[in-house]
Amino acid sequence: MVKPPSLPRRTSRREIFGWAMFDFANQAYTLLIITVVFGELFTTVIVGERGDNYRLANFLWSLALALSSLMVVLTAPLCGAVMDYRAEKKRFLFLSYLATVATTAMLYFVAPGYVMLGFLLIVLSNYAYSMGESFIASFLPDLGPPEAMGKISGFGWALGYIGGLFAAGFTLVALGETTAENFERIRWVGPFAAGFFLVTAIPTFMWLKERGTPQPPGVPYRVIAKARVKTTLEDLRYFQDLAIFLVSLLFSMAGIYIIISFAFIYGAQVIQWDGAIRNVMFIIVQITAAAGALGFGWIQDHLGAKLTYQITLGLWVSSILAIWATPQLTVFLNTYLGLTLEAQHVFLVVGCLAGTSLGSSQSASRVLVGLFTPLPKAAEFFGFWGLANKLASVFGIVMLGTLQAFIGLQASILLCAALFITAMLICTQVNETRGRRAACEWKPQELPST
């Protein structure tokens, strides 16, 4: 029987910085491809308006993201089990990184009308990116003790949003608007995002350490994955607080993925903002998200991860109601206060609240999984974290994509508020102290050799 390792001390600042640089690097993909530029390009130019108020385009976009997330659901825990057993977290991370860079660069070839090519490349690139997101998170429990995990995770998320600010800020200025007339310039968004990711993630692979101990060779990957995942599923009663939290996370991340995937599409189609306001909104969201991640990371280490997570979900409910009500709120302010505001200006204020909610909630959820995770099963448990995230993506984006086809995008956004409220209610059943104790007391079992 293998003796469980003691809780880690905080690692060097250089290694923590190297780990956080992957968040810095991969935000180029999240923001440029999924949130800010290519999502709008795909729906409004590649597919285009076909007399249906972009409903077909929105549905195809949501379907591509859902399919890639479903692939993560099917493979992330299996890969995590292998990574833990073979101590190959860094190798798997590197492979996902290369795959993301290659498929993102190929988006250059997606021209107007090349719908299926764009659809396929989004499925593949988002799958590779999402697997890497799960792999990098699995290093978190190795970087420091539980009482410092909130600050470490918050630093990673904050650095990620700063990276996104650099990447997308340059893109929006250098490449211009997401329009058919500007297509020959804006099509370079894929190669630029790939290049940014390729270069800025180098510190991660230079300084991040693989601390696992490889188990004896000779056991096929399929045996490792099947045996370890089966054991984990059987032990879920022991890790009951992790299991309950992952269900809560499924609902909260469904709402978050809807916002990530449709916020700028919502701005273009419902708010009808101009290019300058879109750029300002991007900057506001990045700054407030970074501030939220850092601030709530500190709060989390003092108030507890569960309470912090619940507070961030409450912020999200307020944000969604404000997003939905922006057009009506603008009319109200102009009528009763004698102002001459446009909806896009009010939407900027709403963006501050949404950005704070975004950074804080994602950091808090990652820390809770880290606190409930035994070190020898970090990659596997964060594989389940990835599973919950992407199952949420499938669940949320398909629901939103289908719902907006019937009632339109503005009314459909209220679905997110219902998802966040459900997540809050489920999380009331999580006992943080009990979950942390279960992670510390768990002892690994030997894996069958055949």
pLDDT digits (tens, 9 = 90+) for 425-445: 999 999 988 988 888 887 765
197, 64, 189: which is closest to 132 by C-alpha? 197
176, 422, 148, 410: which is closest to 275 by C-alpha? 176
Q: Which residues contact 291 (CB under 8 A, 6 or more apart)?
A: 158, 356, 359
Amino acid at 19: W
Determine the pLDDT at residue 380: 67
Determine the pLDDT at residue 153: 79
Determine the pLDDT at residue 4: 42
Contact status, residue 383 vs residue 81, Cβ threshold 8 Å: yes
Share of the chain above pLDDT 70, in %: 89
SS3 of 176, please?
coil
Determine the pLDDT at residue 192: 94
Determine the pLDDT at residue 134: 83
d(CA 199, CA 204): 10
Contact status, residue 263 vs residue 37, Cβ threshold 8 Å: no
The pLDDT of residue 36 is above 80: no
Output 104 or 174, whichever has higher pLDDT: 104
d(CA 206, CA 36): 30
Determine the pLDDT at residue 404: 81
Q: Exposed/middle/buried for 17, CB within 10 Å: 0-12, 13-18, 19+?
A: middle
296, 316, 319: which is closest to 308 by C-alpha? 296
In our burial notation (b when 16+ CB lie closer than 10 A, e otherwise), range 34-45 reads bbbbbbbbbbbb
Question: What is the chain's mean pLDDT, rounded?
Answer: 83
What band does 213 get if pLDDT is binned at 50, 70 and 90? low
- The DSSP line for 234-301 is HTTTTTHHHHHHHHHHHHHHHHHHHHHHHHHHHIIIII---HHHHHHHHHHHHHHHHHHHHHHHHHHH
Per residue in 326-381, pLDDT (tens digit) is 988 899 888 888 888 888 888 888 888 888 888 788 778 888 888 888 877 776 67
Contact status, residue 282 vs residue 348, Cβ threshold 8 Å: no
Longest dimension (CA), the chain: 77
In eight-state DSSP terms, residue 372 is T
The tokens for 224 are 């490792």
Determine the pLDDT at residue 224: 63
Determine the pLDDT at residue 6: 47
Determine the pLDDT at residue 1: 37
Neighbours of 391 (CB within 10 A): 21
d(CA 19, CA 279): 29
Distances (CA, A) of 108 to 183, 188, 296, 408: 10, 6, 38, 30
Read off the pTM: 0.73
